[in-house]
């Protein structure tokens, strides 16, 4: 096998990768409101932002009530230092009604 052939394999891999990207890639999380996420049955995941209305617990996992105009209970499986009145952005998945599972919670500064 010579260098030209290996270079060609590299280009084929790039092409296959891009085809894979077009076929499999879909936007997983998009900005959404709590109300939209609750009402739209086709959407199960989204990025929600709002003010923390109440923190049930911070340790060993976090449960809080988020308000962006509508309210939702968010469960995040890690400890945090989030407090009442903090502004947060959460990458969530709908569990039931207004209960969401968070993959990631970011405190806005």
Partner 1 sequence: MIIFYLILGSIFGIIAGLTPGLHTNTIIALIAISPIFGKEIMVLVLSMSIVQTFVEFIPSTFLGVPSTTTFEGVLPAHKMLIQGEGINAITLTVFGGIIATIVGVLITPIIFLLLEQNQREIILITPIILLLTPIIMIQQEKSFRKKIISIFIIFIATTQGLIFSGQIFALITGYFGVSATLYSLKEKNIIKKQNTEINIENKITDPILGLIGGTIVAIIPGIGSNTAATIIKTFKLKIQEKNYLTMLGSINTANFFFGFITLFALKKTRNGAMIFLQDKITLTQETMILGIIIMVISAGIGGFATIQLSKIMINFFNENLTRKLNIISLLIMIFATIITGGILGIITLIFSTSLGLFTISKKVKRSLCMNSLIIPTLFFYLFILI
Residues of this chain that bind partner 1 (CB under 8 A): 1-3, 6-7, 9-18, 20-21, 24-26, 28-29, 91, 103-104, 106
Q: Which is nearer to partner 1, 15 or 56 (CB)?
A: 15
CB proximity list for 77: less than 8 A, separation 6 or greater: 61
Distance CA 30, CA 62 (A): 23
Closest approach of Cβ 90 to partner 1, in Å? 10
CB of 2 to partner 1, least distance (A): 5
Q: Name which of 91 and 100 has its Cβ closer to partner 1.
A: 91
Q: 3-state DSSP: the chain helix, strand, coil percent, rounded to 5?
A: 25, 40, 35
Closer residue to partner 1 in complex, CB, 18/54: 18
Quote the tokens at residue 91: 């990458």
């Amino acid at each position: 096998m010579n260098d030209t052939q290996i270079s060609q394999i590299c280009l084929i891999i790039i092409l296959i990768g891009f085809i894979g990207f077009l076929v499999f890639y879909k936007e997983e999380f998009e900005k959404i409101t709590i109300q939209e996420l609750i009402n739209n049955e086709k959407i199960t995941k989204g990025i929600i932002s709002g003010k923390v209305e109440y923190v049930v617990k911070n340790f060993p996992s976090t449960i809080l009530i988020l308000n962006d105009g509508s309210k939702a209970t968010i469960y995040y499986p890690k400890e945090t230092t989030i407090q009442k009145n903090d502004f947060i952005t959460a990458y969530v998945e709908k569990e039931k009604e207004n209960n969401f599972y968070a993959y990631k919670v970011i405190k806005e500064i």
